[in-house]
Amino acid sequence: MRFLLVFMTIFAVVNAESTEWEKIYKDVSPSIPLIAAQGRGVCSGALIEKDKILTAAHCVSNLRKVFISWSDNLTVDIEAKVIALDFKNDLAVLSIPVQEAKKTIPIIGYIKNVTVGQEVATIGHPFAISQQKPEILLDQTYVLSRGIISKINDNNIMTDASVSPGNSGGPVLNKNGEIIGILSRKNVSFGSGDNATLTTTQHVYKLVEYSNSKERKPIRWFHAQSVGYSVLSISTYSFLKDRNSSSLEFVGIGFRIDFADRIPISAHATFENDNNSFLKFNVGYKFAFFFEKFLPISFSPVVGVLSHRSEVGESTKNRDALTYGVLFDVFNLSIDISSYRLSGRSESTASFMINFRWGQ
């Protein structure tokens, strides 16, 4: 009899907790958008004011077009504008048309009310990833994951709630349905299990206050993250070609940094071949195109400087010229085609590169 009473008590407690989180899920889900940043997959967020969404900066920081949709109609995209970014704490605020029919999600007012071991939950879209809609996996959207607060640091909080790509930017909620943080990243290392980092509300309040300080205009592309990514390039085939169709083949190495995901700045040097070598610097402006069923493609009009070094006998000749051309990028492959004039002759270079990228 005593065993039965214990079992019934445990069952009642578990059932009450399940009912509690089920109620929060039903109340909060309609106010959590699915955020699709063009070419960057899917993220989550939270409606904190009738016309503002809170999310993670890394979801939208490169300022490609951002669209949101709601659980009641995932087929309708609403364009959102980035109006505030905090790269250090991985936070962003989006401006959207006023959503009168939707509830806003409250933010916890006092961080000391958050304790280690406290039960929390997050709602997001794990693995609902594709380049663009309608390829989003609908059965992977609006997934609730529960856990506890694992650790509280000065600038962030850790939780063991199971999260995956697609949860980024989503709110971590307490049992009152209040936001205690925004999911930033999953910590992955051998044997570490699930553990995610969220940005605390002390940073959230500062950014929200900034976004409300005056009528915020959409952030322009040059305020995006200062370095989008860096590229180490190995040139597999390059040549110089003049009017007489003579050519030289080279193998070389290059380095490129894409500022604000828009401005590629590169240096490309070749190893010597037949007593010739060249060094080239480029700067350009990148245009990107995204497709539903194909890889993103970008091209960049570029200008630069080329230094051509040649040895004839015991003498060395260095010739410099301005170049102009275009840089194409598809996945990890690049083609750089440039023209220039040396000693009154029109010549060109073509570089085929394999890229190794790091950064955002």
| Nearest residue to 247 via CA among 225, 278, 223 | 278
Segment 224-251, tens digit of pLDDT:
544 444 556 665 555 555 555 566 777 7
C-alpha 10/C-alpha 15 separation (Å) is 8
**Is the Cβ–Cβ distance between 297 and 287 less than 8 Å?**
no
Exposed (0-12), middle (13-18) or buried (19+): which is 335, by Cβ within 10 Å?
Answer: middle
CA gap 151, 144 in Å, rounded: 21
User: d(Cα 310, Cα 272) in Å, to the nearest integer?
Assistant: 9
Is the separation of the CB atoms in 279 and 235 below 8 Å? no
**Other beta carbons less than 10 A from residue 10's beta carbon:** 10
User: Does the pLDDT of residue 45 top 90, yes or no?
Assistant: yes
Q: Per-residue pLDDT for 292 more than 90?
A: no
106: cis peptide before it, omega within 30°? no
Residue linked to tokens 């890394």: 58
**Beta-carbon contacts of residue 205 (< 8 Å; ≥ 6 apart):** 107
Taking CA atoms, 354 is separated from 231, 260, 279, 284, in Å, by: 9, 22, 18, 19
Average pLDDT (287-309) is 76
Per-residue pLDDT of 75-99, as tens digits, reads 788 999 888 888 788 888 999 999 9
What was the pLDDT predicted at 47?
95
What is the rounded distance in angstroms from the CA atom of residue 107 to the CA atom of residue 110? 9
How far from each other are the two terminal CA atoms of the chain, in whole angstroms? 60
Lowest mean pLDDT segment, chosen from 89-93, 217-221, 264-268, 286-290: 217-221
94-111 average pLDDT score: 87
- In tens, the pLDDT along 118-174 reads 999 999 888 776 544 446 677 778 999 898 888 888 778 888 888 887 888 999 999
Q: In angstroms, what CA-CA distances link 87 with 57, 93, 158, 166? A: 6, 12, 19, 19
Which helix (H) or strand (E) segment holds residue 144: the answer is strand 143-152
Distance (Å, rounded) from C-alpha 53 to C-alpha 295? 29
The string of pLDDT tens digits covering residues 190-227 is 444 456 777 777 788 888 887 787 666 777 655 554 44
Asked if 287 and 300 count as a contact pair (C-beta separation under 8 A), the reply is yes
pLDDT at residue 68 tops 50: yes
Q: What is the CATH number of domain 227-359?
A: 2.40.160.20
Query: Is the fold of 2-221 the same as that of 227-359?
Result: no
Number of C-beta neighbours around residue 339 at 10 A: 15
CATH class of residue range 2-221: mainly beta
User: Residue 19 and residue 25: Cα distance in Å, rounded?
Assistant: 10
Domain definitions of the chain by residue range:
2-221, 227-359
Say whether 65 sits in a helix, a strand or coil: coil
Distances (CA, A) of 328 to 103, 231, 285, 286, 351: 45, 14, 11, 9, 10
